[in-house]
Structure 1
Amino acid sequence: MATDTAAEPITGFDVLAGTIDELSRRAPAVIAAAAAELGTLLLQLHFGDDTHAVLRVRRSRLETTAGRSAEPDVEVHFDQRAMNLVFDLSCRPADEVMPASLDVRGERGDVLAAWRALRVLSQRASGIRAVQELWRRYRDRSPRLWGGHPDRPENRWPRPPAFALPRQSGWRALDYLDARSPDGATELALGTINQRPQSLWDGTIGTGWWKTSPVWDADLFETMRTCRDRVGDEIARLIPARDPKAALYDLVRSYPTRQGKGLRPTLTIAACAAFGGRPDDAVRTAAALELFHNGFLVHDDIADESTHRRGKPTLHEKYGIGLAVNAGDGLNLLAIDGILSNLDTLGLARALGLIHETLHMCRETVEGQAIELDWIRRNAVPRTDRAYYHMSTKKTGWYTCISPCRLGAVCAGETAPGRLDALNEAFRWIGIAFQIQDDVLNLVGEQELYGKEALGDLLEGKRTVMLIHLMRVASARDLVWLRRSLARKRTDKSQDEAERILLAMRRYGSIDYALDVADRLARRGITRFENDLGFLPESEGKGVLRQIANYVTTRPL
């Protein structure tokens, strides 16, 4: 559910939905961990401000909706004070709970699973600044519910509500709490554990009454933006300010300045840090990788006859095929120069390792491109998803996910084949899942999320998982016009024809099928990440790699 997290969080539902939205963008590993704990359970939350939320897992994402469910597996009831105690982790809820504050219904195992999911959200989310800002705005609306100095009357807890006893509410835990007298007849003492209650994160340092192993949950959104901007500055230095400016170097700058998400730069820099290197040592290589990527895009757009890239006309549409091909060649030449220039700063061994990895990446990419273009040339659609996995790994998987990680590790000084190969399987599956989601976004997503014109893949005849599935399950009658459409050149196809194929994909369930496949492959990659990279100590760099591994399952679609 989309929520405007910049708006003031007014209700309990607002703060829950806003937290999940922020974590989905900024800390996907937290969402994945909470979703794994919640599993198939349907969790109903009742807040003291009379708002209600239903929390469930869908394709490894946490989905929250306002309202009530007819048959939840677990129900949790908070009053306002209990809601705040979830976030004020310097107080023990068991000591601070008041009559009628909190109650839970459900089977014992289900209740424990729901508790673990909420614990992940509340504790690990508390290290993310954007989430803390959301909670702060929520807390500021009810200052009396929060602790301050005990000598300030406005910061003292309100009196517990009085109830006539005995009362039979139907909630056994609630009846128990009704009969329980809190410490102090008129008001609760502040600071059960600390003299002054405080939230886990105060903007500088985290504190609390328990001690746990550190969890490295970096803000992925901010990290990707920082890495993207840092690498963008390096790209600007690598592109010379010389003639012919209008016919070459202005074109060379065009695609890199149409900034994307920053996935490859972040993977490269994070992998360098995860393998014990200095992040700055990977910036030049990350910039070279982005130049390779943009060179590939220029040539891909010509081969695919694409009209737009990241919301603007493609180079060949604006300047003609000749100048565009030359600009793509120039981008690749500058990328090679960027890789070689590491010799001065990283030394011979690492520079040779980078050259070896770059050559392998380029070879895989052109082989994958050849496979896909040959399918289109022969008007062939593979029968199995596995053929798509093979092509996608070669065409985009290596230079989007696998190679950035390996190049970053080499920048840190790691050249042992066995340790570098430990990155392959995890990021192979993650890369395939990421590409499937990109293919889906081209059909159903907002254009700015994908970067190409809407339905461009259908006009180009791209062999995606959705198309492969459609051709497997479509009726004989539909297959006739589908094959006829695929045989036509892009210039002979209309938008209406692409819309008709999209409608068929929806009717036969091909898009839902592809999303299920992407989710399954991403989870396979995440499992391989944890198993294969266990030799790497926990660090901020490894934490960022983990966030990206989980980003595939939480990114907006």
Structure 2
Amino acid sequence: MPMTDTAPAFTGARLLDETVTALSDRAPAILAAAADQLRGIRLGLHFNDGSHATLTARHSRLVVDRDRCPDPDVEVAFDNRAMNLLFDLQRAPVDQVLSDSLDVRGSRDDTLAVWRAFTLLSQRAAGLRSMQELWGAYREQAPQLWGSATPAAREPAADPVDWTALDFLARRSPEDAPAPPALIGDTTVTAPRMLWDGRTSTSWSLEDTVRDADLMETMRRCRARTNEEIERLLPDREPRAELYDLMRSYPARQGKGLRPTLTIAACAAFGGRPDDAVRAAAALELFHNGFLVHDDIADESTHRRGLPTMHEEHGLGLAVNVGDGLNLLAVDAVLSNLETLGLVRTLGLIHEAVHMCRESIEGQAMELGWIRHEVVPETDDAYFTMSTKKTGWYTCISPCRIGAVCAGVTDPAVLGRFDEAFRLIGIAFQIQDDILNLVGEEALYGKEPLGDLLEGKRTVMLIHLFRTAYAHERPRLFDVLRQRRTDKTQQHAEELLAAMRRHGSIEYATDLADRLAAEGIARFEEDLRIIPENEGKAVLRQIAHYVTSRPL
């Protein structure tokens, strides 16, 4: 295909970028596996549509830059036909190189590592409906090369080209994919075998089907099922306008669904019925939203999930009462498990819920104390302790433990297997949330831009800034920080942000979050070996990788 002067809107570089972006949300474990193969290699890609891309691995992420790689370790130049090679995995790369179509430069070991990375991406990502739709849209640009993705193209072609990938794609469309599971299911529980490992190859027919759950779809379904349970728990009586309708407000502001998914997946991982964990998941969400209402008051926040906070919209008195009501309803939801889970498991849930609440209010007290007494901790360890108590327990650790209790696990030693892995993952997740408050898009993050700086939150970035700031800078930084929330302006927050950028505080926090997440994933694999490989454990693993692969 000749090079064109004007690159089409949907270029090869854009396809790669959007594939990696989608997988970071929908199947982060796939990206983590591919990144592990690509580690330390700079890959330069040149597409025949005139676009270029650089692909590198950073911890468990793949990073795409839609530009030329200045000093690649491996360089690949190919035309549209060569895109099929990503799907034709039975043959070795040397047997797939086409004249004037694919050119690869690099050392043998690095080239094989790149091939293994793309094998993982194509072999596993191709089973996701969202990936089929994305690649189908790209294929539609050149149907003479790819075969039509329309339903009519499912009929066998009159003259097959005898090219495995092209013939396969010509007969497949996104609608061919099976329907997604009801709750937890169709998740990879073992790593896929490589069809070609650099020495030998195996046939497609000898391979087990490799499937990965779409994490966003799994979380959406767990969240929806939990919201249905919350709706059943909320009383349908007066006072509606001043209490019960308001109690529906925060749960209806859709979050990620992280806690419900962890709870349900942990229950399934230990062999429990996912439905047995739904009411406990609903209780966790009620506790969470009650905490948020009260936290927003304490922090003087103005927005939550893209909408005005409860106290901003309805006043302080009603907001306090709504938070109390949500917490009371959460307690009632925990107790109501007696009729379905029995006394022993319900007592276990009560114990876990009380411990979770105690940790959360202690962490909140630590942070509010720092703000009240105008203290900035000197070490990251102080932040780790506060973050684990305030959010780590009720966001990551407790949902896993509570889900296991729903499955009948009561041994403290077994429940404790979650603690260290998800402590590290929880800290990393919170640091990333703090970073997103500074550099993320408000539409995606859902909170007030630079709200943490306006509220004086003691984040890792702020601690690093005060640890590295020059002596002549600190008085001014303290002057800005100690002002009341109502007296601070956006300019004050931007002044602190500029100082963080000068001192590399955001980069420091990003690297720290990556390191903690990697340690957490390693502990996950080590500490949770007692759980057999099953769909529930696979979802837990996907969530663990989600922390490290979601874009900042």
* TM-score grouping bracket, smaller chain normalisation: 0.7 to 0.9
What is the aligned partner in structure 2 of residue 457 from structure 1? 452
Output aligned runs, 1:239-318, within 5 Å. 239-318=234-313
* 1:268–1:511 Cα change, 3 Å: same
Ranges in structure 2 where 5+ consecutive residues have no aligned partner: 1-7, 148-152, 180-185, 187-194, 196-202
Shift of 1:216: 5.3
CA distance in 1, matches of 2:446, 2:141: 40
Partner of 2:198: none
SS across alignment from 1:534: helix
Work out whether 1:428 is the aligned partner of 2:429: no
Which stretch has the larger CA shift, 336-345 or 140-149? 140-149
After superposition, the C-alpha distances for 1:388-426 in whole angstroms (9 at most, x for unaligned) are 001100000000001111111111112222221111111
Partner of 1:178: none
1:216–1:538 contact (8 Å) kept in structure 2? no
| Residue matched to 2:68 | 68
In 1: Cα distance, 2:156 partner to 2:219 partner: 45
Q: Give the TM-score, by structure 1 length.
A: 0.87
Distance in 2, Cα, partners of 1:420 & 1:330: 29
Residue 190 of structure 1: CA displacement? Answer: 5.7
Q: 2:520 is matched with which residue?
A: 525
Q: Given the alignment of the two structures, is residue 381 of structure 1 paired with residue 383 of structure 2, yes or no?
A: no
The RMSD of aligned alpha carbons is 2.7
Contact 2:84–2:166 at 8 Å: present in 1 too? no
* TM-score where L is the length of structure 2: 0.87
AA aligned opposite 2:506: I
Residues 307 and 139 of structure 1: CA distance in aligned 2, closer, same or farther (over 3 Å) = closer
Distance 1:473 1:283, change over 3 A: same
Matched, 1:203 2:198: no
Matched to 1:489, the amino acid is R
How many Å separate the matches in 1 of 2:457 and 2:493?
A: 12
Displacement of 1:309 after TM fit?
1.4
Comparing 451-460 with 367-376, greater Cα deviation is found at 451-460
Q: In the alignment, which residue of structure 1 is the partner of 2:139?
A: 139
Mark the runs of 5 or more structure 1 residues left unpaired by the alignment. Answer: 1-7, 158-188
SS at the partner of 1:537?
A: coil
Larger radius of gyration: 1
The equivalent residue for 2:52 is 52
Superposition deviation, residue 84 in structure 1: 0.8
Amino acid at match of 2:456: G
1:466 pairs with 2:461 = yes
Residues 507-550 of structure 1 deviation map (CA, whole Å, 9 limit, x = unaligned): 11111111111111111111111111122222222221111111
Separation in structure 2 between the aligned mates of residue 496 and residue 194 of structure 1, nearest angstrom: 59
Identical positions, percent? 64
Is 1:493 the counterpart of 2:488 in the alignment? yes
The match for 2:228 among 196, 214, 233 is 233
Which of 312, 315, 322 is residue 320 of structure 1 equivalent to?
315
Residue 392 of structure 2 is matched in structure 1 by 397
AA in 2 matched with 1:266: T
Q: Return the alpha-carbon distance in structure 2 between the equivalents of residues 92 and 21 of structure 1.
A: 28
Matching residue within 532, 544, 552 for 1:537: 532
- Retained in 1: the 8 A contact 2:427–2:516? yes
Aligned to 2:510: 515
The residue number in structure 1 matching 2:439 is 444
User: Which residue of the partner structure matches residue 25 of structure 1?
Assistant: 25
1:77-132 residue CA offsets vs partner (Å, 9 max, x unmatched)? 33433321322457776666544443321112211221121111111111211002
Query: What per-residue deviation string (whole Å, max 9, x for no partner) do you get for residues 244-272 of structure 1?
Result: 11221122111111111111111111111
Which of 471, 479, 501 in structure 2 is aligned with 1:484?
479
- Asked if 2 retains the 8 angstrom alpha-carbon contact of 1:276 and 1:412, the reply is yes
- Distance verdict in 2 for CA 1:462–1:541, change over 3 Å: same
SS, match of residue 62 in structure 2: strand
Change (3 A) 1:259 1:363: same
- Indicate the larger mover: 203-212 or 327-336: 203-212
Are 2:109 and 1:86 aligned? no
Once the 2 structures are TM-superposed, how far is the Cα of residue 229 of structure 1 from its aligned partner? 1.3
The separation in 1 between residues aligned to 2:15 and 2:169, in whole angstroms, is 24
1:456-492 deviations in Å (ceiling 9; x for gaps) = 2112111100110000000111101112222222222
Residue identity matched to 2:276: D
Determine the C-alpha separation between the residues in 2 that align with 1:324 and 1:150: 60
- Within 2, Cα distance between the matches of 1:460 and 1:14? 38
Specify whether residues 405 and 149 from structure 1 end up closer, same or farther in structure 2 by C-alpha distance, changes over 3 A only: closer
Q: What displacement does 1:12 show?
A: 2.8
Match of residue 224 from structure 1: 219
User: For 1:262-318, what per-residue CA distance to the aligned partner results, in whole angstroms no more than 9, with x for missing partners?
Assistant: 111111111111111111111111111000001001111111111221222222222
Secondary structure of 1:423's counterpart equals helix
Q: Is the alpha carbon distance of 1:195 and 1:36 closer, same or farther for their aligned partners in structure 2, counting shifts above 3 Å? A: closer
One-letter code aligned to 1:292? F
Mapped partners of 2:266, 2:31: distance in 1:
22
When residues 438 and 149 of structure 1 are mapped into structure 2, their CA distance, relative to the original with a 3 A threshold, is closer
How far apart in 2 are the matches of 1:215 and 1:230?
27
The one of 455, 470, 475 aligned to 2:470: 475
Q: Please state how far the C-alpha of 1:53 moved relative to its aligned partner.
A: 2.1
- 8 A Cα contact 2:352 2:398, kept in partner: yes
Whether the 8 Å CA contact 1:223–1:266 is kept in 2: the answer is yes
Q: Is the 8 A contact 2:132 2:173 kept in 1?
A: no
Q: Does 1:43 align with 2:39?
A: no
- Aligned pair in 2 of structure 1 residues 453, 14: CA closer, same or farther (>3 Å)? closer
- Residue deviations 1:204-248, cap 9 Å, x none? 499971544665521111111111111111111111011111221
CA distance in 2, matches of 1:477, 1:134: 53
Letter in 2 for 1:35: A
Query: CA deviation digits over 1:145-176, x for unaligned, max 9?
Result: 457899845x543xxxxxxxxxxxxxxxxxxx
For the residues of structure 1 that align with 2:360 and 2:156, how far apart are their CA atoms? 68
Q: Does the 8 Å contact 1:365/1:394 carry over to 2?
A: yes
- 1:369 pairs with one of 364, 369, 375: 364
Taking the aligned partners of 2:169 and 2:25, their CA distance within structure 1 comes to: 33
Specify the code of the residue in structure 2 equivalent to 1:301: D
Aligned to 2:182: none
- Alignment check: 8 A CA contact 1:269 1:286 kept: yes
Give how far 1:49 is off: 4.0
Distance 2:507 2:551 in 1: 15
